[in-house]
Amino acid sequence: MSEAELVEAITTSHAEQIESAEVLRSQRVSVVVKREVFLEVAEALRDEYGFKTPSAAGGLDYPKEERMQMIYYLFNPDSKITLTLRVDLPRDDPTLPTLTGVWEAMSFHEREAHEMFGIEFEGHPNMIPLLMPPDWRGGYPLRKDFKGEAGEE
């Protein structure tokens, strides 16, 4: 399945659930999903479109537009396409259902996004800090308005 066919298939079968889907370049596809139906699309991507390998996940902060984006990187071992599954979140309420039920290995990446961006993952089985020291009080480092170091509130 080529990139263009994949995007077309996703847009026709999940027209209600996604906000946009586009081909960035060869082997790169980007899909932006609505937050409410995020898990359904993720399951469809795994079961119907063969994105079985979770690569990574990370956040992105846009303070001017008052939004954050959570990005999941998925890989299809057959067609070798990397798909970025994105969800837009409001900056004052960054909560999201966890994706560990679909791809178990997203656990580490969600823990990292939680401590770096302050995104809450509802239902995550083991939400403890991954990289930061346990006594860190300095805020969320990768947010754009982060200034200063540990100990400073």
Partner 1 sequence: MSEPTITPDLMRISWGPQHPMSGQTRILLDVDGEKVHKIIADLGFTHRGIEKILENRSFLQGIVPIERMVMIDTANIGLGYVMAIEESLGIEVPERAHWIRSLVCELSRISSHLYAFGLQAESTGYFPAVFLWTTTDRTVLLDLMEELTGARFSYNFFLPGGVMKDLTEGFEDRVIEGVQYLRKRFEDYWTAMIENIVFEARCNDVAVLKPEDAIRLGATGPVLRGSGISIDVRKDEPYAAYGDLDFEVITESACDSMARTKVRYREIGQSLNMMEQVANEIPGGPIRTRFPLFTRSKPGEVYSRVETGRGEMGIHMFTAVGMNPYRVKINSPTLRNMYVFERLCELDEMLMADVPVVINSIDPWYLDSDR
Partner 2 sequence: MAEESCELKRSLDWVPGSGAVYSVVDYVAGWARKYSIWPIHLVTGCCGPEFMQTSGVQYDMERLGILPFASVRQCDCIMVVGVVSRKMALRVKYLYEQMGEPKYVVSVGACPTGRGPFYDSYAAVPVDEYVPVDVYIPGCPPRPEAIIQGMMILQEKIKNTKRIGVKSE
Nearer to partner 2, 103 or 140 (CB): 140
Alpha-helical segments (H) within 48-87: none
Q: Which two tokens stand for residue 28?
A: 């790169």
Shortest distance (Å) from residue 82 CB to partner 1: 7
Stretch that binds partner 2, among 54-62, 64-72, 77-85, 131-139 (CB under 8 A): 131-139
Strand (E) positions, 63-125?
A: 67-75, 82-90, 95-97, 120-122
- DSSP helix, strand, coil percent of the chain (3-state; round to 5): 20, 30, 45
CA 74 to CA 80: how far, in whole Å?
10
To which residue do tokens 């083991």 refer? 126
* Phi, psi of 126, rounded to the nearest 5 degrees: -150, 70
Residues 114-133, mask of contacts with partner 1 (x by CB under 8 A): --x---------x-xxxxxx
Residues 88-127, mask of contacts with partner 2 (x by CB under 8 A): ----------------------------------------
Q: Which does 82 bind (CB under 5 to 8 A by kind): partner 2, partner 1, none?
A: partner 1
DSSP 8-state secondary structure symbol assigned to residue 12: H
Q: Which does 138 bind (CB under 5 to 8 A by kind): partner 2, partner 1, none?
A: partner 2
* Range 56-95, binding partner 1 (CB under 8 A): 56, 58, 60-61, 71, 73, 77, 80, 82, 84
Write out the residues near partner 2 by the rule CB under 8 A.
132-133, 136, 138, 141, 146, 148-150
